[in-house]
């Protein structure tokens, strides 16, 4: 019985650490319409691209700027930038900062540097980058469309990753953060620490 008292809280904490941020955390959650998750559908999102621009491997990541799990996935993806192209697609799910920070990242001249600055700040508990509340209609509409696309997949949490696994040739999708090794295996690329 002593084991259960410590074991179950440990397992619950571990599972929460591997989870993602979900629309249930938001007052703006929308019931998904269930669309097939394909690379072509994911490519309809408006995002910023980092990594190997010439890579045939494209990994689409739907994320909310206020999601700590997304921050962990961002950091995990950095060692893989030489092997794959990552398209980070901001959605507006958690709060008003999601939209303004997402807009700042979409319009950044150096999204790699700004996203790294943002995620470092967010994971340090400082809320991320400061962003102007004035978002152009075009960018606001893009973030709304990204959110609708995310919802249409029936996804329940961010980060939500869509890619073609290089080993299996299958389109794969998954919600939640992963470490670098798990992300590399998910996409089917070779990586050694």
Compute the distance between CA of residue 51 and CA of residue 54 in angstroms, rounded to an integer: 9
Q: What is the largest CA-CA distance in the chain?
A: 59
Compute the distance between CA of residue 133 and CA of residue 159 in angstroms, rounded to an integer: 24
Q: In this predicted structure, what is the pLDDT of residue 134?
A: 84
Q: In this predicted structure, what is the pLDDT of residue 124?
A: 95
C-alpha distances in Å from residue 151, one per residue of 1, 45, 47, 115: 42, 12, 16, 23
Q: What is the mean pLDDT of the chain?
A: 86
Q: In this predicted structure, what is the pLDDT of residue 56?
A: 87
Q: In this predicted structure, what is the pLDDT of residue 173?
A: 97
Quote the distance between the C-alpha of residue 184 and its chain's center: 15
With cut-offs at 50, 70 and 90, classify the pLDDT of residue 150.
very high
Does the structure show a pLDDT above 90 at 1?
Answer: no
Q: Which residues pair with 175 in a beta bridge?
A: 160
Q: Give the tens place of pLDDT for each residue, 105-127.
A: 999 999 999 999 999 999 999 99
Q: Looking at per-residue confidence, does 15 or 52 come out higher?
A: 52
The closest of 122, 130, 128, 129 to 72, measured between CA atoms, is 122
- Phi, psi angles (nearest 5°) of residue 78: -55, -45
Q: In this predicted structure, what is the pLDDT of residue 19?
A: 57
The closest of 145, 184, 168, 147 to 59, measured between CA atoms, is 184
- Topology given in CATH for the domain delimited by 20-187: Glutaredoxin (3.40.30)
DSSP string, 116-134: HHHHHHHHTTS-S----S-
Inter-residue contact 144 to 135 (CB < 8 Å): no
Q: In this predicted structure, what is the pLDDT of residue 14?
A: 37
Q: Give the tens place of pLDDT for each residue, 58-104.
A: 999 999 999 999 999 999 999 999 999 999 999 999 998 999 999 99
Q: In this predicted structure, what is the pLDDT of residue 186?
A: 97
- Length of the chain (residues): 193
Q: Looking at per-residue confidence, does 126 or 22 come out higher?
A: 126
Q: What is the mean pLDDT of residues 171-179?
A: 96
């Amino acid at each position: 019985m002593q084991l259960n008292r410590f074991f179950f809280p440990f397992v619950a904490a571990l599972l929460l650490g591997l989870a993602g941020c979900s629309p249930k955390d938001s007052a703006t959650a929308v019931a998904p319409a269930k669309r097939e998750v394909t690379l072509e559908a994911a490519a309809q999102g408006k995002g910023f691209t980092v990594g190997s621009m010439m890579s045939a491997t494209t990994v689409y990541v739907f994320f909310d700027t206020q999601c700590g799990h997304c921050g962990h996935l961002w950091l995990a993806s950095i060692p893989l930038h030489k092997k794959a192209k990552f398209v980070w697609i901001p959605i507006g799910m958690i709060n008003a900062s999601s939209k303004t920070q997402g807009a700042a990242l979409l319009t950044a001249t150096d999204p790699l540097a700004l996203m790294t600055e943002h995620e470092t700040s967010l994971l340090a508990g400082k809320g991320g980058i400061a962003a102007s509340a004035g978002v152009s209609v075009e960018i606001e509409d893009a973030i709304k469309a990204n959110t609708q696309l995310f919802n249409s997949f029936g996804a329940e949490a961010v980060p939500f990753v869509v890619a073609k696994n290089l080993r299996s040739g299958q389109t794969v999708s998954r919600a939640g953060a992963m470490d670098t090794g798990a992300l590399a295996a998910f996409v089917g690329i070779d990586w050694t620490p």
